Structure formats: structure tokens, C-alpha cells
Amino acid sequence: MQIVQFQDLGHWDYQKAWDYQSALHRALVDNKLQHRDHPPGSYSQQHYLLLVEHPHVYTLGKSGSLDHLLLSEEELTTRGIQYFPINRGGDITYHGPGQIVGYPILDLECFFTDVHRYVRNIEEVIIRTLAEYDIEAVRVPDYTGVWCLPDPQTDKTSPGEIFRQKFRKICAIGVHLSRWVTLHGFAFNVNTDLNYFKYIVPCGINDADKTVTSLEQELGRPVDISTVQSQIRKHFCAVFECELAPS
């Protein structure tokens, strides 16, 4: 069983967290290169799970479109929102207070070498966490991330019309891999101010039937962030078949 070092970073500026996770990622890659003549798992490799909250920031993935940022540079400054183009997959997303951002930094050659399985595993961690709050969440075909099921009582156009699948995204996922070492991760809306999503086209999805939500909005009450973090840690261990150790 792999040991993963867990760190709760608290509230960190995005640039600081990006520099930190990049340094950890580089150390794992360098260690692999130093042991290139040894099979994976035959030498010690340090894995990490970082959880953090960021101040207001938009990040744009390498495959995203700047057109999906609906604010000018001046408006970003006025509203106190940072912006970073980064090297993960996916389009534009928002990070901010009340949101748990997770950065797993894993050498997947010590787990499994399957990018799609890795993303599905992250989704599964969040799906199981939401089940702790009696929220049934799902994957939606062709859309990465975790979504809350449509409400059959409200998600209809009008009486007699066909049921519309109004899924609500509660967790976005964007990752990057180098030599099978992971970077970036997930953004789980807990007590997140959803108004900040109005200034972007979230994840590049311009579809009235695909919106965003938060755990607070689904439950109708604020949720203790530390309790949610504990659930994430528990389910991360179960899904990735690893042990978390404080770092």
C-alpha cells in the first residue's frame, strides 16, 4: 500500500500554492529519473495530497478559450480577482473562499498507469463524500467532473414538456501529468459564493441545462469545511487504496 503525505495548507494565494505543488512535482519526477534503471515500486517515492482554499482567482487550462473570461483586466483588478493561464487540461474555472481545492501529486506508476481511471477515481472520491450528506451525485457523459442529479420536481420546462436534464456541477477537475506524475486536481464547491461563476463560462460549458452549485446550496445551509475535508481524506484512501500520513 502506498503512503501519501497529507498537507492542509489552509488559505494560500494561488501563485504560492502553484509554486509549491510544482516543486513537489519536480522532486518526484527527478527522483524517477535518478532511478530510471529501477522498476516502479522498487524505490521510495514521496506522494502528496494537498488541500487548500484560495482567494478569488480564475485559472484557464491550456485547451481553454480566453473568450470564456467575461471580465476585462481592469474589471478583474476592481473586483480583486486574480487570473492565471496554467498547464492543466480543461477550460476556465473559479477558485475562492469556501471551496476545497485538492492537489494530488502522485506517481501513478506506483498506483496504475491510466489517466482516465485517475480522473474517474477523483470523481469517485467526491461522489462518496457527497453521499455522506445524502446527496446523490453522478458523472455526466462527455463532461468531466461531478454533478448533482436533476430535481424532477423543478427541472422541467413546463407541464407536458419533455424532462430537461438540468445537471448542476459541484466539482471541477483538471489535471496534468508528466512522466506519470500528477499535477493540479479538483475544485469542490462547499460554501462557495457562486456569483463569481457569472463572470466566466465555467469549464467552457455554455449550456443552460448545465449550471454550477455548491454543497451549501444543495443542503440549504453552510457546511463545516474541516468536516468535509475529513470525508475527502477518508474516501481518498479507500478509492486510491493508500494510506494518508500527516506531513
Catalytic sites, residue numbers: 203
Whole-Å CA distances, 173 to 61, 62, 94, 209: 11, 14, 11, 19
∠ CA 185-167-101 to the nearest 5 degrees? 20
* Chain position carrying cell 485517475: 118
164 neighbors 155 (Cβ within 8 angstroms): yes
Closest C-alpha to 131, from 228, 226, 221: 228
Q: DSSP secondary-structure letter at 63?
A: T
Distance CA 210, CA 150 (A): 10
Closest C-alpha to 27, from 201, 197, 220, 247: 247
* Chain position carrying cell 501529468: 177
The 3 state secondary structure assigned to 216-237 is: HHHHCCCCCHHHHHHHHHHHHH
First to last CA, the chain: 17
Query: What angle, 0 to 180 degrees and rounded to 10, lies between the N-to-C axes of helices 115-131 and 225-240?
Result: 140
165 neighbors 155 (Cβ within 8 angstroms): yes
